[in-house]
Amino acid sequence: MSLFEPLQQRGLRLRNRIVVSPMCEYSATDGLPNHWHLVHLGSRAVGGVGLVITEATAVSAEGRISHGDTGIWNDAQVAAWQPITAFIRSQGAHVGVQLAHAGRKASAQLPWQGGGPLGKDESPWPTVAPSARPFDEGWHVPAELDEAGIEAVIEAFRIAAGRAAAAGFELVEIHAAHGYLLHQFLSPLSNHRTDRWGGDLEGRTRLLREVVRAVREVWPETLPVWVRLSATDWTDGGWDDTMSVELSRMLKALGVDLVDVSSGGNVPHAKIPAGPGYQVPFASRIRHEAGIATGAVGMIIDSAQADAVIREGAADVVLLARELLRDPYFPRRAASELGVTIQAPVQYKRAW
């Protein structure tokens, strides 16, 4: 395998192993993507990536992180996504949506407005979680989801997946990382329940497994489903990579095609030893021990490093975030540096 070798997943063939990692832009209104999202996501498709995945896109209004999040809980949002997905596909890239519910981290300010919980004069909304424990001191105390509330969350993901297909998306990624609702259920640090949705690994993973089942029931069999996990909470007593391996085995059996391996986000003051490729070993362990395709993400910043991740069998794709913000045309630069020829848009061929 190499960075520019195509990847086949079900009926989807990625032209290379470079993926736009989901990155919140906090620039939507009422969940509607707009011209910013068209240009931001579309330019990465022009730049030559194999797959573009949208930012965390809320399955319900109360599941948004902030007022600026994109959504896919109504038909107007489906219509707003359609020209964006069509343009991405027209450039030879495939397009996926990350379906998300923020749980106790919802009702937050935009990052450039502080990033904390919304104040009373900022139109906050009630938040929910597996247990009535706030994310941090000063954050909203979430309501503990009851059985009906949990079933409503599952149904919201199911309906959102159906809308995603109508919007022109070709891949669904279920967001179960970074301290959002599904991760909150996974981790003993945020899930203190004693019913069937908590307790042991079987109980704490139940909601994610039920969401995967619901999505797979409505999502086309010919198209992939991915799940993003935080492999570890980086905190004693929390979710860890051994649990992630076991969960990944369960997800594979449910029809998940790839685990997108990140880390952290569930507790506010975890000490994370960030550095180039610091999460790659988690992706490698899950890939080899759970026998499922993985994606590596986290400070992958140059072509040789990205290519090595694939060649060494640590992951099947690399997901780039900040590097693609710095350079939307990273794949074209990487191809040149690695001695690979890739097609340019006909409008740009005079520069090659």
Nearest to 130 by CA among 44, 47, 193: 193
Beta-carbon neighbour count of residue 195 at 10 Å? 12
173 DSSP β-pair partners: 98, 226
The two three-digit tokens of residue 301, written as one number = 């910043």
Which run of H or E residues covers position 57?
A: strand 51-58
- Measured between alpha carbons, how far is residue 174 from residues 1, 28, 215, 227, 334 in Å? 26, 20, 9, 5, 29
The residues with which 97 forms a beta bridge, in sequence order, are 172
Q: Is 278 a catalytic residue?
A: no
Q: How far apart are CA 282 and CA 185, in angstroms?
A: 20
Pair of tokens at residue 266: 């569930």
- Per DSSP, 32 falls in state B
Q: What is the DSSP string of 243-310?
A: HHHHHHHHHHHTT--EEEEE---SSTT------TTTTHHHHHHHHHHH--EEEEESS--SHHHHHHHH
Cα–Cα separations (whole angstroms), residue 285 to 122, 126, 263, 279, 282:
43, 38, 14, 10, 5
Find the catalytic residue in 26, 180, 278, 348.
Answer: 180
Q: Which residues are catalytic?
A: 180
